[in-house]
Each structure stands twice: as structure tokens, then as C-alpha cells.
Amino acid sequence: MNTKENIGHREALTLLIIMMSGKIFLSFPRDMVTLGEAAGWFIVILAGILSLIGFAFIYLLIRKFPGKNIIEIARVICGPIFGSLIGLIFFLFFLTISSLFLRQFVESFILAILPRTPISVITVGFLILLIYSCLLGIQTISRVAWFFGPYLLAGLIIILFFSLKRADPQNLLPILGTGPISLLKSSLPNISLFAEILLFGLLAPLITKKQKLLGVGVYSLIISMAINAAIVVIVILVFNYIAAAKQIFPVFQLARLVVLEEFLQRVEAAFVFLWFFTGAIQLSGLFYGAVTSFAQAFRIQDYRPLSFPIAVLIFTLSLLPASMVKAVELNDFIVGNYYPLITFGIPLLLWLISLIVKKNSSACDVQ
């Protein structure tokens, strides 16, 4: 990997927040309401807390092996063969999530604003953008995230604020929805809501202020959890959980409800720009994760030339689901159930192995 790249902790923080919150513009709020009914927001909170625990193992590895990313750490702990195998697993993770998110974003654009445009045309357009961003490097991607981040948040807050006039607090009842046991069971597989935090393991060596690493990871998870939970709460307040479960893109429907007499109407037109920039930044980060994971797995110094063949692979995979519904099911309820094993399970396993290796080496030194 090109180690000359460096990113600030604020840029890394903003990029991770956007990557973990970009799903709010897709079917994510509907999925949470379907699982937890009026308490769908509570699943987000529980999943966020569990993700913080899982992130601890990523951070412990980064702290134990300073200057190395998580794939390099795996190679040190497990040897070159198993280290490369773990790198390939991470590559498949980012490849899968990039392909399915790309398909959902493209389908959402077609349904919302470009109903007559072939899916392949929009997909190719997005991929050209992703290739260009990858060629520019993660430093540029993170700076774009840092620049647009405040504007994206401000636009989202405005839309949500003006939609609150239609809110009904009674829609949040019953407060525990399907019950505490059911919510806890739903939150366990939905740790995948924050699976993008795995990118932190690749970015850590590039962040200039190493003393800020813990804050970047923890704050990105907490802020993303707050944004995602707030979105689900407002969707339930405005639509109630029964109606929200029938909305394909609930946040887009919220934007369509914003009307200020004759002065401000059809806010969804401006919402599309918010939607586009968030999706572009999120997908750029995921695409970078796929490309650099592959490069790390095979010890390729410059990841940029890999962006073209991997983009072709993502294009092919994104068109495999028969429909957007199938893509959502794959990402959220089938393939997505295995994301936590990769994002948090592998770092936990690496951390445990590192402890065993350290104990064995210490015992040998004593002898």
C-alpha cells in the first residue's frame, strides 16, 4: 500500500461517520421498523453498543502493532499465508458490501428521479466516479468527506426539523416494541449496521495523530449510532411503524412532506443532491477498502491500478440480484448476517492468538 498517504483524524472521523450513516437514505429505517416495530430505534442503540465492544479488539491490535494496518498485523501474527487469506476475506467483505450498496443506490435513483434510465448507465456512471476517487487516493476522499460533511449534516437536520410538525409522539408506543428479548435478539445480527468500521483497521497507520486513534473509532461509532437512531425515531414519529414498514425509502418520503406554505416546496429535489454526495462518499470509502485489501493480501505496493479490474467485478456483482428487493434481502438479512464475524470476529481471533503467541514466546525466553 502507498504509505506516503496521510490523513487527519478529523477527515478520518468524518469519512467513517458518513460511511456508517449513508444507509439512512436507503431501506435501513424500514428494516429497523420491520424488526422492532415502534422500538426499531432501540435495535440501533443496542447494535451500536455491541459494535463499540467489537471495535475494542480492532483498536487493541492497532495499539499493539503501531504503524501497521490490520492485514499487516494478521500477517505478523499468523504468518504470510494465513495473513494473506485474511486479507482476501476482508477484500470479499468490501467487494460484497460495495456491490450491494451500489445496486441499492442505483435502484433508488431510478425509482426516485430517473425512472427511464437503464440501470447499467447509472451504475457505470457511479463506477467511473469511484475509480476516479480511488486514483486520487484516500487522502482526497477523506478531505472531500471533511469538506462536505457539515453541509450534508445541516441539510439532513433541516429536512428532519421541518418534517417534525407531522410527528405524533403516540407513534413511539409501545416503547419496547416487540419486547426486550426480541429486541436483543434482533440487535445481535444487526451489529452489521456498523460493519464499515473495519475500514478503520486499514486507515489507522495513515492517520497523522496516533493519540487520536481511539477517539476516531469511538466517536465515529457513537455519532453514527446517534444519527441512525434519530432517523428511525423521526420516521416512526411521522409515519408510525406500520406505515413506515411499507415505505421503500422513508427518508426520501420525509423530504417530500416538507412544505412551507408557498415559499418552500418540492424539497426532495434538493434532497437528491444530499443523497448523491452521501452515497458517493460512502461508496468511495468502501471501494477503497476493497482495492487496498486486495493489494495488501498480495503485497502490491500501489493499489491504484487495481481500481479498474475491481470496478468491473463490482459492476458484475451489482447486477446479479434480480431486483432491488433481492439486493436488500441479501445485504441486510442473508449475507449481512456474516458481516459481524468478519468485522469483529476476525480481530477478536487475531487478538487472542497474539496473546497466546506472546505467552509462548515469553515461556521460551524464560527457559
pLDDT tens per residue across span 311-337: 999 999 999 888 777 887 777 667 777
- CA dist., res. 100 & res. 254, Å (int): 24
pTM assigned to the model = 0.92
pLDDT in tens, 8-21: 999 999 999 999 99
Q: Hey, where are the domains in the chain?
A: 9-366
Range scoring the smallest mean pLDDT among 88-92, 142-146, 249-253, 336-340? 336-340
pLDDT reported for residue 360: 53
What's domain 9-366's architecture? Answer: Up-down Bundle (1.20)
Residue 159 pLDDT: 82
pLDDT level of residue 102 (50, 70, 90 thresholds) = very high
Percent of the chain predicted with pLDDT > 70 = 92
Residue with cell 509462548: 360
Burial environment of residue 162 by CB neighbours within 10 A (0 to 12, 13 to 18, 19 or more): middle
Cell (9 digits) for 106: 442505483
Residue 2 has pLDDT above 70, yes or no: no
pLDDT of 366 reads 36
Q: In the predicted model, what is the mean pLDDT of the chain? A: 87
pLDDT in tens, 145-185: 999 999 999 888 888 888 888 888 998 888 887 778 877 77
> Which pLDDT belongs to residue 358?
67
Phi/psi region, residue 90 (left: phi>0; alpha: psi -120 to 50; beta: rest), is: alpha
Inform me whether the pLDDT recorded for 52 exceeds 70. Answer: yes
Residue 87 to residue 184: CA distance in whole angstroms: 31
Lowest mean pLDDT among 49-53, 161-165, 289-293: 161-165
Helices (H), 249-306: 250-257, 268-297
Instruction: Give the Cα separation of 138 and 6 in Å (integer).
Output: 8
Q: Looking only at Cα atoms, what is the longest distance across the chain?
A: 84
CA dihedral 96, 101, 106, 110 (to 10 degrees): 130
Q: How many CB atoms lie within 10 A of CB 364?
A: 8
d(CA 78, CA 295): 18
ω into residue 174 within 30 of 0, thus cis? yes
Residue 179 pLDDT = 78
pLDDT of residue 356: 86
Tens digit of pLDDT for each residue in 208-231?
989 999 999 999 999 999 999 999
Cα 174 to chain centroid distance, Å, stands at: 29
